[in-house]
Structure 1
Amino acid sequence: MDHAPQLIQERSAPPATLVIFGASGDLTRRKLLPAVENLARHGRLPDQFALVGVARTPMSDDQFAESALGGRSLAEKRQLSGGIRYVAGGYDDPETYKRLAETLDELDAVRGTSGNRLFYLSTPAGAFEPVINGLAGAGLNQAREGSFSRLVIEKPYGRDLATARELDGIVHGAFEEHQVFRIDHYLGKDTVQNVLALRFANSIFQPIWDRSWVDHVQITVAETLGVGTRGGFYENAGAMRDIVQNHVLQVLALALMEPPASFEAEGLRNEKVKLLQAIRLPTDRDVSEAAVRGQYTRGGTREELMAGYREEVGVDPLSRTETYAAMRLNVDNWRWAGVPFYVRTGKRLPARLTEVALQFQRPPHLPIPTDQLTGLEADALILRIQPNEGISLRFGAKVPGHSFRVRTASMDFSYDQTFVEESPEAYERLLLDALIGDASLFIRSDEVQQCWRIVDPIIENWEKDNSPIPTYEAASWGPTDADRLIGRNGRKWRNAS
């Protein structure tokens, strides 16, 4: 008997108040408020939703509402305007949290937010401790029966393994782990989540997703921009802390982990942690062979000459901070033993690109004469995360004509050309997940610690190394040391034109 297909239940937030600390900051203006607007526009927020901004900047409720809704459509204004409040005060001042508690109680009464609170720390990392302690001091970390109190924390989550553990101690002194949502906006991208769909919704890839078929894997996060106005921040971070420790290792874990028993949050996160635990760390002696750093210098063209990193605003003229990092990683488990994983990230590279590329083993025997092979490359599966989001499968095909010649061809899937659905912004998806309580795309405490475990030895080695930092011209593909890193076994980077 035929059965009618079940309709997918659309996900919507419950009654709740979103409290943004750092409400006058850049992240709130550029990402968080537009995400709230889009959720309202798509009907994902109930009428019993409220927004509270907290910051040191003096501002009235009406002024904050105007900044939040100034460019919004009438529909969003009508839905959100009655539930917007602002609390001005220092993050280390108990009176700030007293006023916040009174505001939240008022919104429960007049807006019907049911005592549900999502506290978003959109502040510099130095404010995390006073905000968490302030929330606990006012009792706002404790949810009433039948309600929730949750904490969303932006990166950087610590500066190394030791400080990440210290921050965990502060967080867990006020909130249980199930209340904590550590955010990495990369995991909110549809194309990152598509790595899971490709792997676990299709049977054809599973048999070849291991050491028997894969020669090596490359993960690239390339940016064309320099540090811009973030020079002061970047001086204390560098490429390894800013990108590799979180974005790159999260993408790597999704691409390489074992199939989870279920798509529940803990099932997914358990497998990611197992994968990260299996990554073998280089010894001090071979860090130079396993990791490469670089810093961009002046480069480009006469028409568009780009400044070097040391010439950027807020950067030490003698800076040794890396703007490029590349690593070779090895995973000690049954599936991936012996397969090298090359990861790299850099600023001022020739193309903006984030991709995962699995290059497969070459055929053990080619009966086709060499002169009939026209630049035949190894088969590869490329997952394009941004831009031109999609998937490419590269393989050999016969060239049309009377002769038997074989050349590399590809089959391409493009998100834009295949789906008419609008892809939500990463923060939009992640905010909705946090309001719902779905932690699948958020990072657990032990995940953070495993990521720091992997990068800490390399960072420490670089900090002890007094030799000149390798450089690369802006708009080039990085230092020559990176080519040697991957070229030791006859491999080369996939450099987009």
Structure 2
Amino acid sequence: MTTFVLFGGTGDLAKRKIIPALYSAFVNGRLDQDFKFIGAAREKLTDEEFRVRVAAAIESYAANVDGATEEKRAAFLATTHYSKIDARIPEDFAALKSGLQTSETNATLFYLATGPDIFIPVVEQLSKHGLVEGNARVVVEKPLGRDAQSAKEINQSLRSYLNENQIYRIDHYLGKEMVQNLLALRFANSFLEPLWNRKWIQDVQISISEQVGVESRGDFYDHTGALRDMVQNHLLQLVSIVAMEPPVNANPDAIRDEKVKVLRALHKFTPDEVSKKTVRGQYRAGAVDGKPVIAYQNEPGVPPSSRTETFVAIRAEIDNWRWAGVPFYLRTGKRMASRSAEITINFKPIPYSIFGKSQGPLRSNRLVISLQPEESVQLYMKAKEPGEGIRLSDVALNLDFAEVSNSRRVESYERLLLDAMHGDLTLFVRDDELSAAWAWIDPIMSAWQNDSEGLKSYISGSWGPSAASYLLAQHGAAWGEEFVES
């Protein structure tokens, strides 16, 4: 029997992501027959009142799940219960315990979809009431800390009540199908490994762009910013997977051991390097998809004089034998021209062209791995255009996963929830990974705090500040969309 307890069960994350993921897994037969779902929050609700909210979340965010029927929705709602929980009231946890069946064979998963200030009080009470023994596991949402020191304190507190293998630090990007396919692409294909190094690769670009603004999260986001919200976790996780050495096997700790080595090898910036190798920006009013949008400083919950960054571009370097001298260009931003997440591996140019100057400069081969909105892998090669003479153009060898497989696409939260229920830690962040990521981020944050003039502005619906283009142009490179536009 598996019991899923969702703290923050009435919150926005629960409604938009977690409840739809649970429902999809239930509809597709991925949950135990005696699965039990308990929502927990401070609000006083009956089981039936909570089920009404769960039904509304399903209607809004999971109405089109394959295989869904009215009967299955009713059956899912029948598994659903509610428990009023205030982290400051021990008696609430005693009431929760009475509704749980804890044993060595019954697995309980506690998901903390709350602010990080609640993590430790909740885990402390769970421990005092004997609820984290046996097969109990705890999933904690980001952000986990605001810097290296606060993350260390949170992790130390968590480990005072839990074993490391009970802690599931979730990063939903690791649940994306294409992120996991990175492992298969790298370590199940012999032709790539000889090219996957500084001898053959010119640069690596990892870009996550969003068209949305901060939406209803203005107050939260203004205390976080793009560097903490996106770079510290999503982008650095992608860097570690792209750059890692082959693990000894596919076991969770073998893979995470190699990821940690990459994060520790990231070159730490001096204050002077921060000014030269990073760009931060904040969106102003503009238009996205032809619709006018307001500036960040006019968003609800955002102070009019806010200096929080909504865009970051970084020229990172990895100080190890494989990657020395290869720049890793990282970029993320809100209110960008399009929604996308891509990893581009730009290979070095050919040493000499036999086709003469009439062809103009030939763009190097590149491997483009798209994570969203569609998942695909494209290898761009040169080929002759039909007709007289020799005229070269880029041709993409395209692997579209929607076309090559009819298997059901599993959304990232569903995959990660199922992995946590099954005790698979592969796609969750380990303590030392988190510490190494913060150790690299801290010098950048510190330098930015002492630089009141460094924040650039950019028009909503653009590709960010012009300084981000110059960051690459001064080294003879360009972001992918700039090549397309040219």
> Shift of the alpha carbon at 1:234?
0.8
> Shift of the alpha carbon at 1:74?
3.7
In 1, distance between residues paired with 2:51 and 2:15? 12
1:352 matched to 2:304 = no
Q: For residues 343-492 of structure 1, what are the structure 2 equivalents within 5 Å?
A: 343-371=330-358, 373=359, 376-467=362-453, 469-492=455-478
1:312 matched to 2:308 = no
> Shift of the alpha carbon at 1:261?
0.8
Cα 1:388–1:78 shift into 2, 3 Å: closer
In 2, distance between residues paired with 1:77 and 1:304? 36
Cα 1:402–1:158 shift into 2, 3 Å: same
3-state SS of 2:312 partner = strand
Q: For residues 50-449 of structure 1, what are the structure 2 equivalents within 5 Å?
A: 50-69=36-55, 71=59, 73-77=69-73, 79-105=75-101, 114-143=105-134, 148-300=135-287, 304-371=291-358, 373=359, 376-449=362-435
Query: Which digits, 9 at most, give the CA deviation of each residue in 1:238-257, with x for residues without a partner?
Result: 11000000000001111110
3-state SS of 1:471 partner = strand
> Shift of the alpha carbon at 1:78?
5.4
Query: Which digits, 9 at most, give the CA deviation of each residue in 1:397-424, with x for residues without a partner?
Result: 1111111122222221111121111211
Aligned residues: 473
In 2, distance between residues paired with 1:407 and 1:301? 32
Aligned to 1:5: none
Q: For residues 16-31 of structure 1, what are the structure 2 equivalents within 5 Å?
A: 16-31=2-17
> Shift of the alpha carbon at 1:375?
5.8
Cα 1:302–1:159 shift into 2, 3 Å: closer
3-state SS of 1:196 partner = helix
In 1, distance between residues paired with 2:345 and 2:294? 34
Query: Which digits, 9 at most, give the CA deviation of each residue in 1:142-174, with x for residues without a partner?
Result: 22xxxx010000000101000000101110111
2:120 corresponds to which letter in structure 1?
Answer: E
3-state SS of 1:210 partner = coil
Cα 1:81–1:319 shift into 2, 3 Å: closer
Aligned to 1:3: none
In 2, distance between residues paired with 1:330 and 1:283? 13
In 2, distance between residues paired with 1:168 and 1:185? 19
> Shift of the alpha carbon at 1:84?
2.6
Assess if the C-alpha contact under 8 Å between 1:470 and 1:479 holds in 2. yes
In 1, distance between residues paired with 2:184 and 2:205? 19
Assess if the C-alpha contact under 8 Å between 2:280 and 2:454 holds in 1. no
In 1, distance between residues paired with 2:385 and 2:306? 52
> Shift of the alpha carbon at 1:305?
2.2
2:131 corresponds to which letter in structure 1?
Answer: L
| Range with bigger deviation, 291-300 or 150-159 | 291-300
1:94 corresponds to which letter in structure 2?
Answer: P
Assess if the C-alpha contact under 8 Å between 1:279 and 1:331 holds in 2. yes
Assess if the C-alpha contact under 8 Å between 1:217 and 1:359 holds in 2. yes
Assess if the C-alpha contact under 8 Å between 2:288 and 2:335 holds in 1. no
In 1, distance between residues paired with 2:309 and 2:95? 43
1:102 corresponds to which letter in structure 2?
Answer: S
> Shift of the alpha carbon at 1:85?
2.0
3-state SS of 1:220 partner = strand
> Shift of the alpha carbon at 1:478?
0.9
In 2, distance between residues paired with 1:485 and 1:246? 22
> Shift of the alpha carbon at 1:484?
1.6
Cα 1:142–1:481 shift into 2, 3 Å: same
> Shift of the alpha carbon at 1:57?
1.0
Assess if the C-alpha contact under 8 Å between 1:120 and 1:152 holds in 2. yes
3-state SS of 2:317 partner = strand
> Shift of the alpha carbon at 1:480?
1.5
3-state SS of 1:404 partner = coil
In 1, distance between residues paired with 2:295 and 2:55? 39
In 1, distance between residues paired with 2:71 and 2:348? 55
Assess if the C-alpha contact under 8 Å between 1:296 and 1:474 holds in 2. yes
Instruction: State percent identity of aligned pairs.
Output: 39
In the TM superposition, structure 1's runs of 4+ consecutive aligned residues that sit over 6 Å from their partners are none
Question: What TM-score, normalized to structure 2?
Answer: 0.94
Assess if the C-alpha contact under 8 Å between 1:49 and 1:80 holds in 2. no
Cα 1:251–1:302 shift into 2, 3 Å: closer
Aligned to 1:46: 32
> Shift of the alpha carbon at 1:104?
0.6
Assess if the C-alpha contact under 8 Å between 2:2 and 2:109 holds in 1. yes
Cα 1:331–1:33 shift into 2, 3 Å: same
Assess if the C-alpha contact under 8 Å between 1:49 and 1:83 holds in 2. yes
- Gap regions ≥5 residues in structure 2: 60-67
Query: Which digits, 9 at most, give the CA deviation of each residue in 1:1-59, with x for residues without a partner?
Result: xxxxxxxxxxxxxx210010011111111111111111111111121211111101111
Assess if the C-alpha contact under 8 Å between 2:40 and 2:85 holds in 1. yes
3-state SS of 1:104 partner = coil
Query: Which digits, 9 at most, give the CA deviation of each residue in 1:433-489, with x for residues without a partner?
Result: 000000000000000011111111101110111225211111111112111211121
Assess if the C-alpha contact under 8 Å between 2:9 and 2:39 holds in 1. yes
Aligned to 1:4: none
In 1, distance between residues paired with 2:119 and 2:378? 42
Question: What TM-score, normalized to structure 1?
Answer: 0.92
> Shift of the alpha carbon at 1:65?
2.8
2:345 corresponds to which letter in structure 1?
Answer: L
Query: Which digits, 9 at most, give the CA deviation of each residue in 1:357-384, with x for residues without a partner?
Result: 000010111121111x156311100000
- Gap regions ≥5 residues in structure 1: 1-14
